[in-house]
Amino acid sequence: MSKASDMAKQTMVSSADQSVALRPPDQVMRLSRMGAFFPTRLSFMRSLIRRLYAERAAVTRPVFEINPEGYGRAVYSVTLGGDVYSLVAFSTPLDPGCRTDRVIAEAWDTTFVLFDGQPSGVDLDRLAVETPRQEAGQFAKTELVLSRANKSVRLFDHVVSRLAEGRQPDRAMISKIGYLMRTTAVYGNGKFGIADRSRILERPAVRGPFQLEMLTVWLIRGFTHDLVEQVARLRDPKRFQPLSPAFKRYLGIGNATGLGMAPFLVNHPTLLHCWMLARETAFASIRSIERATPQTVDAFLAHLSRARGHIEDWDVDDERQMDRIRQLRDELGEAADLATPSWLARPYPWERLVRASEYWSEECQELLLAVILEPHGALIDHLTASMESDVEPALQPRMTLGELLALLDKKFAWANALDFNEAPSSQRFWYVSEEKLEPRLGDRYREPGADKELPLDIARRIQALRASVQSWPRHEIVARFLMRHPEHRQITRRVQTTASYAYAEIRENLIGADCRPIDMLRCKLSFFGASKFDPKSDLWTRITMFQGAPTFDQIGAPNADDWGFPVLGKSP
């Protein structure tokens, strides 16, 4: 038995009256841990599915004009929160040489908008021109989300061929790839001329982060199922066989995501705090439970078994991540050996399991967090309502410099402890691509553009602020200091705003040579609910969304929310 198992057998929470504290930011807000996060039941995809289930939402398909080659248009409509939202989808021919996941692409297999209401024929004709142009298109206030996707050609063609022959597709291919199409962008909140989120902010369906974007992706997933069946049906109507419900449920939507997503976590610090706080509060609440019911133990063990199967199906080309996956598989085996029903029946089972996991990798620790959360929806699901932030950065000009220094020393000691004296500590710089208006990462000592640097070097700016303030009288106020040093205005406002939010800052040097932006991507994607993290470099990754989620006709089923860590069964 492992050292973790031996130690865990002896570990107990000392007081039945003392709640477990939240994990400290110095432990949680590190890139190595954030880059090991897994989706949980608090993710935005899961909360959307619960909302759809609660409202018994029904998806209709008023338009489906797809020819034998799979080209044409379709509309999917759903009522949510009393308002109708419609996915308008266009499938068009694409030269194979133009098919790419890169943001520089100018043509795609399919393009989409989420339309506010039910589009008319005039709307569809207008959108048929503008939507395939994506960023270059002209959009109206009725367009809420903009997206595009490319086929996983090998799997798509295989599924079409098999269904047209009256057979189901190869299970191994379904399991390995996991999606028929992958999106390369899902834009909301006013980007490229679509409607600002502020216009619909009071609507129930918008409550919670990225809910309309997640709705768009879920509807796109249903369209891919219908599209592959339509092409197969028209190829051979007599022999055609529809895709099995099990395969449909397993097939999600792929996504290719790059650096454009990474700065979001830095640019929205109080929102990041809300996400992290909800997750950590849920975790601490469950760890504080003295006794687990037999039903909860059974549910936990079932989810742990499913998670192990899910990880067994997770293979990537990236050797660093694959090594982590292999280690995770071994550690989950140890966790399963340890967490027997009798062991979990003893006091404070979840706290003891968490303490045992301290001897395993961060990947294992964070996966166990997700599994521990699964059986406790009644206790923690309400926390998704707190995962928004309306805090606006605000300068406090009358604060004294003594008070500001106290904040810097008490709340931002992590930044002051970093060393920026060596060149590698400032190797990188973030900037915005002029061509695509997307964030990029440059090498300060080899590439031009550092004069266009984005203010993402939070730790270095905090150090510079502290050094400047040190030479001023402590009784002087911030306003006078900033009149002489306007270069510190932005970071001063940030420090004053985020000092009260423990999880607001990533406690790392984000411009160092060893910074891995992929860790920021995985963190954010885990909150979306993405799985099968598949890094292609330190700068971009592929993932799968809504894998295992209910399909349109399953959204009202009793098990609609039970789709964490999906595993493809033995029979379709």
491 lies in some domain:
no
Task: Give yes or no for a contact between 269 and 25, defined as CB atoms under 8 angstroms apart.
Answer: no
pLDDT, tens digit, for every residue of 458-471?
A: 999 999 999 999 99
278 and 235 within one domain: no
Domain count of the chain? 2
91 and 51 within one domain: yes
Per-residue confidence (pLDDT) for residue 205, from 0 to 100:
84
Name the strand (E) or helix (H) holding 252: strand 252-257
> Per-residue confidence at 135, pLDDT binned at 50, 70, 90?
confident
Per-residue confidence (pLDDT) for residue 6, from 0 to 100:
41
194 and 282 within one domain: no
Task: Give yes or no for a contact between 357 and 364, defined as CB atoms under 8 angstroms apart.
Answer: yes
244 and 103 within one domain: yes
Per-residue confidence (pLDDT) for residue 483, from 0 to 100:
97
> Per-residue confidence at 12, pLDDT binned at 50, 70, 90?
very low
Between CA 503 and CA 498 the distance in angstroms is 9
Look at residues 86, 135, 85, 126 and name the one whose alpha carbon lies nearest to residue 108: 135
Residues in CB range of 541: below 8 A, 6 or more apart: 256, 257, 258, 518, 521, 522, 525, 533, 534, 535
Between CA 174 and CA 172 the distance in angstroms is 5
Residues in CB range of 445: below 8 A, 6 or more apart: 423, 427
DSSP 20: P
Q: Which structural domain range is residue 324 located in?
A: 272-387
Per-residue confidence (pLDDT) for residue 11, from 0 to 100:
32
Q: Is the model's pLDDT at 209 over the cut of 70?
A: yes
Assigned token pair, 219? 């509807």
pLDDT, tens digit, for every residue of 231-252?
A: 999 999 999 999 999 999 999 9
> Per-residue confidence at 204, pLDDT binned at 50, 70, 90?
confident
Per-residue confidence (pLDDT) for residue 477, from 0 to 100:
97
> Per-residue confidence at 103, pLDDT binned at 50, 70, 90?
low
pLDDT, tens digit, for every residue of 285-297?
A: 999 999 999 999 9
Burial 422-452 (b: 16+ CB within 10 A, else e): eeebbbbbbbbeeeeebbbbbebeeeebeee
Per-residue confidence (pLDDT) for residue 184, from 0 to 100:
87
166 and 312 within one domain: no
298 and 160 within one domain: no
Q: Burial level of 494, CB count in 10 A (0-12/13-18/19+)?
A: buried
Residue type, 550: P
Q: Is the model's pLDDT at 435 over the cut of 70?
A: no
Assigned token pair, 422? 């060596």
Per-residue confidence (pLDDT) for residue 15, from 0 to 100:
33
Between CA 31 and CA 514 the distance in angstroms is 11
Region 128-157: what's the mean pLDDT? 93
Assigned token pair, 262? 């990474």
Q: How many other β-carbons are positioned within 10 Å of the β-carbon of residue 320?
A: 11
246 and 104 within one domain: yes
> Per-residue confidence at 102, pLDDT binned at 50, 70, 90?
low
More confident residue, 449 or 323: 323
Question: What percent of the chain is modeled with pLDDT above 70?
Answer: 95
> Per-residue confidence at 227, pLDDT binned at 50, 70, 90?
very high
Select from 258, 285, 320 the last residue of a domain: 258
182 and 156 within one domain: yes
> Per-residue confidence at 154, pLDDT binned at 50, 70, 90?
very high
pLDDT, tens digit, for every residue of 175-189?
A: 999 999 999 889 888
Question: What percent of the chain is modeled with pLDDT above 90?
Answer: 79
Select from 204, 231, 258 the last residue of a domain: 258
399 lies in some domain:
no
335 and 188 within one domain: no
Between CA 294 and CA 287 the distance in angstroms is 16
Residues in CB range of 121: below 8 A, 6 or more apart: none
210 and 172 within one domain: yes
Burial 284-308 (b: 16+ CB within 10 A, else e): bbbbbbeebeeebbebbbebbebbb
Select from 210, 229, 258 the last residue of a domain: 258
354 and 312 within one domain: yes
Q: Is the model's pLDDT at 4 over the cut of 60?
A: no
pLDDT, tens digit, for every residue of 525-571?
A: 999 999 999 998 888 899 999 999 999 999 988 888 999 999 987 54
Per-residue confidence (pLDDT) for residue 197, from 0 to 100:
84
Per-residue confidence (pLDDT) for residue 436, from 0 to 100:
64
71 lies in some domain:
yes
Per-residue confidence (pLDDT) for residue 571, from 0 to 100:
44
Q: How many other β-carbons are positioned within 10 Å of the β-carbon of residue 176?
A: 11
